């Protein structure tokens, strides 16, 4: 990987412009919580009435539901409006991404079932208050790292692509979480293999005194594998600094040692996934954004995966989700929403497996729900979808499952699959603590 060839004087100008606090007007800021939602989405619906007004989101749980219960679909009674498939995809292409169009045309039987739009995403008043406080205060470095701002969305009124992606990189999905997740890798012919493990996360970024709690790292992640048998006990820990590349360590049971993993970053292929996904594809995009130029293209209406509780419903197992060539279409729900379009192109002098990525961020959560990835010749290569649902106990919109398609290999990875009750704890304050996320703690955890 070569260093940048951009002259240092240009770097200084870029650094200065990015480090400056946002130049949004007082009038724009005044609209937060009025014509705009508290995190910067348009409160009103569209003129046609096909996108409704935002009225606060589903911040209260479905009646009778308790944390730990299997998910209940609050919109199970909605009737499907229509489907988009190979017979009519060109008619709807202006509200689809290039990857959505390509996958529909590539695979017989692939369809997107369209349902009424439900703007379910909402957050706590604490998040809204912190988001407003970040306006004019949050700053980014020339690398896209976080210099100032915490506790909420950094840039509810973004002026560029880096700011829009910073909103996602710090999006609230719970301060502490414990999840038992499955990752399935499809095989040619319809079979698949599964890796299962326990994920623990902690986000010091969302502490009231974030920089005092931990001034170096904004999020922390530990994954301990529990299946298959050959990999049981393997652990990876990743810490995300405010203004540097991710730092990772691995615990290898056979050696009973913790080792630094400097290559667990950027476009290095994730082990055990047959080169179908890179580290910086994980969670749609992961790590420091310093290898790309980021352009905020604008907003558009688009059919996107949404309100995906079906993937976590009772009696839905991995075999119900993973099918040959693409996931079960009967479980996927799509709705018309507004998205921010952000285009990332590799900076001159740098390299990445993907020369360009186009992300589509849901306006009500700042989460990429669709991404199109292009190879070094400019050809569409990979396609990603993130199926969101509202976890009212946090409250926040989180991923029910995310899919990573390789359109050349005709295979895909399905990640973040949670099966059964009690396996998704998004409010796990009493389970792990800050000192859990250290190499020494990792070694002890591996020997249990």
- Residue 32 Rama label (left phi>0; alpha psi -120 to 50; beta): beta
Distance of CA 71 to the CA centre of its chain: 20
- pLDDT at residue 245 in the model: 95
Return the bridge partners of 183, or none. Answer: 195
Distance of CA 126 to the CA centre of its chain: 22
- pLDDT at residue 433 in the model: 81
Domains and CATH numbers, the chain: 8-446 (2.50.20.10)
Q: Specify the residue for token string 């957050």.
A: 123
Residue 285 to residue 382: CA distance in whole angstroms? 13
- pLDDT at residue 10 in the model: 32
Per residue in 119-139, pLDDT tens? 999 999 999 999 999 999 999
Distance of CA 290 to the CA centre of its chain: 18
Residue 340 to residue 158: CA distance in whole angstroms? 10
> pLDDT under 50 in the chain at which residues?
1-21
- pLDDT at residue 161 in the model: 98
H helix or E strand, kind and range, residue 319: helix 318-321
Q: Are 238 and 246 in contact (CB under 8 A)?
A: yes
Q: Are 252 and 234 in contact (CB under 8 A)?
A: yes
- pLDDT at residue 19 in the model: 38
- pLDDT at residue 429 in the model: 62
Per residue in 13-24, pLDDT tens? 333 333 334 578
CA distances from 99 to 121, 288, 325, 381, 382 (A): 25, 24, 15, 9, 8
- pLDDT at residue 67 in the model: 87
């Amino acid at each position: 990987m070569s260093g940048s060839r951009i002259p240092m004087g240009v770097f200084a100008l870029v650094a200065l412009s990015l480090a400056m606090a946002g130049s949004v007007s007082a009038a724009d800021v005044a609209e937060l919580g009025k014509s705009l939602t508290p995190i910067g989405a348009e409160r009103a619906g569209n003129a046609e009435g096909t996108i409704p007004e935002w009225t606060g989101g589903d911040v209260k749980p479905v009646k009778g539901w308790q944390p730990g219960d299997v998910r209940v679909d609050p919109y199970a009674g909605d009737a499907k409006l229509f489907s988009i498939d190979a017979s009519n995809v060109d008619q709807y292409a202006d509200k689809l991404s290039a990857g959505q169009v390509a996958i529909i045309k590539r695979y017989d039987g692939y369809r997107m079932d369209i349902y009424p739009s439900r703007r379910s995403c909402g957050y706590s008043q604490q998040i809204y208050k912190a988001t407003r406080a970040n306006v004019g205060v949050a700053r980014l470095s020339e690398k896209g790292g976080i210099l100032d701002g915490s506790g909420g969305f950094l840039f509810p009124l973004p002026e560029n692509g880096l700011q829009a992606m910073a909103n996602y990189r710090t999006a609230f999905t719970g301060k502490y979480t414990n999840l038992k997740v499955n990752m399935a890798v499809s095989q040619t012919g319809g079979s698949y293999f599964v890796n299962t493990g326990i994920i623990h996360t902690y986000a010091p970024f969302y502490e009231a005194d974030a920089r005092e709690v931990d001034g170096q790292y904004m999020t922390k992640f530990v994954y301990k594998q529990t299946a298959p048998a050959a990999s049981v006990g393997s652990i990876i820990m990743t810490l995300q600094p405010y203004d540097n590349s991710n730092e990772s360590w691995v615990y290898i049971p056979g050696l009973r040692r913790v080792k630094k993993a400097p290559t667990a970053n950027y476009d290095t292929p994730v082990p055990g996934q047959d080169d179908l996904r890179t580290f910086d594809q994980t969670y749609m995009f992961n790590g420091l954004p310093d290898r790309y130029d980021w352009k905020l293209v604008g907003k558009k209406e688009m059919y996107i995966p949404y309100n995906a509780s079906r993937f976590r419903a009772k009696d839905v197992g991995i075999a119900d989700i993973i099918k040959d060539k693409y996931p079960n279409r009967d479980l996927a729900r799509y709705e018309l929403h507004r998205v921010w379009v952000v285009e990332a192109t590799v900076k001159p002098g740098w390299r990445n497996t993907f020369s360009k990525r186009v992300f589509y961020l849901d306006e009500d959560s700042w989460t990429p729900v669709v991404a199109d990835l292009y190879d070094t010749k400019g050809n569409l290569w990979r396609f990603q979808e993130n199926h969101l649902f509202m976890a009212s106990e946090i409250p926040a919109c989180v991923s029910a499952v995310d899919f990573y398609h390789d359109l050349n290999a005709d295979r895909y990875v399905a990640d973040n699959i949670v099966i059964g009750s009690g396996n998704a704890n998004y409010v796990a304050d009493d389970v792990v603590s800050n000192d859990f996320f250290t190499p020494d703690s990792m070694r002890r955890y591996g020997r249990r």
